[in-house]
Structure 1
Amino acid sequence: MGRENLSAIFANFANRECRGSSYLYEHLALGTAEDGELLDLASHARPGQPVPNLFLGAVHFLLLQGKKHPLARYYPSVVAEPKDPRQAFAHFRDFCFTFKDEIIAILKEKRVQTNEVRRCAYLYPSFCMIHRLTEKPLSLIEIGASAGLQLLWDKYAYSYGDGQIYGEASSSVLINTEIRGENRPFLLPTSPPVATRCGVDLHVSELTDSENVLWMRALIWPEHTDRVQLFEKAAEYFLNESVELIEGDGVALLPEIASKVPEETVICIFHTHVANQLSESDKQKLIHHVTALAESREVFHLYNNLQDRYLHLDRFIDGEWRTVMIAETDGHARWVRWMR
């Protein structure tokens, strides 16, 4: 990828994703967008990866490992009283070239993987909707599951600002999310029944591996202490649950996995913020597999970032196909605007 394209990607990341969410990353991404040598360093990321997330995650990973450098003083995840982010860029640049070889190795080896537990806040009403439509237990298949934390959405508790707790009320994982706009989603008081759950990822992040856990921690932005707490609680919860995780190509393996789903359940294929890493040919293969499954089964396909950033639900019931845009969501699910 050329400097000009990569510069635009970093600038867009700063202005659209970081603004109002991470002042530190906004500042560092804008600086990187104007620095040719840093862009060359970031270009070592493997194809298809969201480069700003991976590059900033690599730096964060090394800091969390304990690398000694003045840059650490600007990260709320590393020090109790961080310095002004506006003064961080020069130190960031020096850090990147001081640890250049290690950063390149991380960029070439690791992936940005979805572990945002709060995104379950829009999975919950989506699966409530599916259960209301079918009145059947749900069989979950997640593509790009990473560590599988979102596969346990039915085990978490949810608060949407109306004074009620939904889902598993006694869960240690309580997810708070704002519902914006006039529409409110349909919410069951308790979680819909889940019959089976299976996650597929090119690289499963085993939570028993301390390096995997640290990398997932590094992908959480430095100021987001609430996200860290949710991740840690969900990770602890996950270790006591039985979840099938398969390492491989989720698109290619989908027909085989779906063939093992019990007939009395409804197939629920889902992925959050993963489709932007799929090639166009893989996106077409995914749609083909889902529609082929619908010829003989009730199938729901829940996703975002396939053709746009909105949350969509494709329905295949009794041979009838419908696709509906159901919500607009914040990237980290701090808020959801329900459309239907």
Structure 2
Amino acid sequence: MSYATLSRQFRIFAEQECVDSSPLYEHLANSIAVDEELLEIASMIPPNQPAPNLLLAAVQYLLGSLKDPLAKYYASFTATPIPIQGVYPVFKAFVMAHKAQLKSLFQEKLVQTNEIRRCAYLYPMMTDIYHKHQRPLAFIEIGASAGLQLGMDHYNYCYNHQLSIYNTDNGCTISSENRGETLPVTVSKPPVVCQRIGIDLNPIDLRQKEESLWLQALIWPEHHERRLLLNEALPIFGQLDIQLIKGDAIQLIKELSQTIEQEAMLVVYHTHVANQLPLPLRHELMEQLKEISMVRPLYHCYNNLFDKQLHQDFMHLGTIEPIRTMERPDGHARWFKWANC
């Protein structure tokens, strides 16, 4: 990948993802975009991975086990971080000193943030589907990471500081702002879920300390609420019957669909995953889903497949019926725009 392409990736990341979300990462990404030495290191990242996310996560992961002045700029390591104006020379020195370790991490790790808060817009879709069909739901999540979204019916929800849905006593509450139409009344009635299957090229086993630390490193330094939510979800996750499968979803999904109970309504979903697939594989995924729909109806809930909008489609006998299309949500689901049918 050329330096110009990488530079553009870091600029887009800073402008579209980090503004009003992570001042530290915005500053670092803009600085890396004009630094050829750092772009050279970023060029070691596999082309199917988002370079800014992987580089910054790898640095934060290493910082967790190393004593280095750079940690003093990270809100994830100190309650009183140093102002970011002087961070870049310290950041660059750290990266240059740990090139070999970073290169290894680039080959071993994937960007697979398990953003639990995205359940805020997935959950109303699931309650709507369950209400319509009155059949237990069977989840298959593509790019499931650690599988935490597969427990979405066991979390509490607070929308616009007003509407609250209580599904658990442990205090795990997902808060998000709905900037769109009013959520359906069915959102207050939890669905029945009979199967939970997650597919990932590299599933994260939260029982392994190293893998848990990597998941933590993927959370941006200023995002304390995301770290708290992750830790609150872990006890719930441990009590659920979740099947995490290592492999390529496009190759496995048809076979896995045959293991779903016949009386269940199959729901295949993925968020912020499909953009990592080459375009031909995105079309192949759709062909696989169409083939499955020739045998049984299913719902497909997704974004970043052919556009950045959020979709809920019903598929049956090879045809696709769009149920709702929503504007692009915030990447970490701080807000979304609900659209009724």
Specify the alignment match of 2:225 in structure 1: 226
**TM-score, with length taken from structure 2:** 0.96
How much does 1:169 deviate?
4.5
Measure, in 2, the Cα distance between the counterparts of 1:162 and 1:4.
43
Q: 1:107, CA displacement in angstroms?
A: 1.0
Task: Give CA-to-partner distance per residue, 1:115-145, whole Å, 9 cap, x none.
Answer: 0010110111111121122221100001111
Q: Residue in 1 aligned with 2:339?
A: 339
1:156 maps to 155
* 2:323 maps to 1:330: no
C-alpha separation in 2, matches of 1:140 and 1:76: 35
Task: Map 1:3-152; keep pairs closer than 5 Å.
Answer: 3-65=3-65, 67-152=66-151
The Cα offsets for residues 18-41 of structure 1, whole Å up to 9 and x where unpaired, read as 000000000000000000110110
Which letter does structure 2 place at the counterpart of 1:266? M
Matches within 5 A, 1:303-318: 303-317=302-316
1:253 aligns with 252
Query: 2 CA distance for matches of 1:328 and 1:170?
Result: 32
Q: Distance in 1 between matches of 2:328 and 2:179?
A: 9
Residues 144 and 201 of structure 1 are in contact (CA less than 8 Å); yes or no, is this contact kept in structure 2?
A: yes
TM-superposed deviation, 1:110: 0.6
Distance 1:326 1:114 in 2: 22
Q: Give ranges in structure 2 of 5+ residues lacking alignment.
A: none
Letter in 1 for 2:42: A
Are the equivalent residues in 1 in contact too, given 2:290–2:318 (CA < 8 A)?
A: no
Task: Work out whether residues 290 and 317 of structure 2, in 8 Å CA contact, stay in contact via their aligned partners in 1.
Answer: no
- Structure 1 window deviating more from structure 2 (226-235 vs 18-27): it is 226-235
Q: CA deviation at 1:167?
A: 4.9
**SS where residue 314 of structure 1 aligns?**
strand
Deviations 1:168-201 (A, max 9, x none): 15343100111113x1221431311101110011
Counterpart of 1:185 in structure 2 is: 183
Whichever residue aligns with residue 326 of structure 2, its letter is I
Could you tell me which amino acid in structure 2 is paired with residue 53 of structure 1? N
C-alpha separation in 1, matches of 2:276 and 2:64: 26
Tell me, yes or no, if the aligned pair for 2:114 and 2:148 is still in contact at 8 Å: yes
Provide the C-alpha distance between the structure 1 equivalents of 2:126 and 2:326, rounded to a whole number of angstroms: 12
RMSD: 1.4
Q: Distance in 2 between matches of 1:318 and 1:291?
A: 7
Alpha carbons 2:113, 2:218 under 8 Å: kept: no
How big is the shift at 1:151?
A: 0.4
Structure 2: distance between partners of 1:332 and 1:318:
34
CA distance in 2, matches of 1:55, 1:232: 24
Equivalent residues of 2:200, 2:247 under 8 A apart: yes
Per the normalisation by structure 1, the TM-score is 0.96
Match of 1:207?
A: 206
Whole-Å separation in 2 of the counterparts to 1:160 and 1:171: 18
Letter in 2 for 1:19: V
Aligned length: 338
Question: In structure 2, what is the Cα distance between the partners aligned to 1:319 and 1:63?
Answer: 49
Residue 2 of structure 1 pairs with residue 2 of structure 2: yes
Structure 1: how far apart are the matches of 2:189 and 2:86?
48
8 Å CA contact retained: 1:148, 1:245 = yes
Q: Distance in 1 between matches of 2:113 and 2:73?
A: 25
Instruction: Give the counterpart letter for 1:195 in structure 2.
Output: C
2:289 corresponds to: 290
Give the secondary structure class of the aligned counterpart of 1:131.
helix
Q: Distance in 2 between matches of 1:284 and 1:10?
A: 27
Percent identity between the two aligned chains: 41
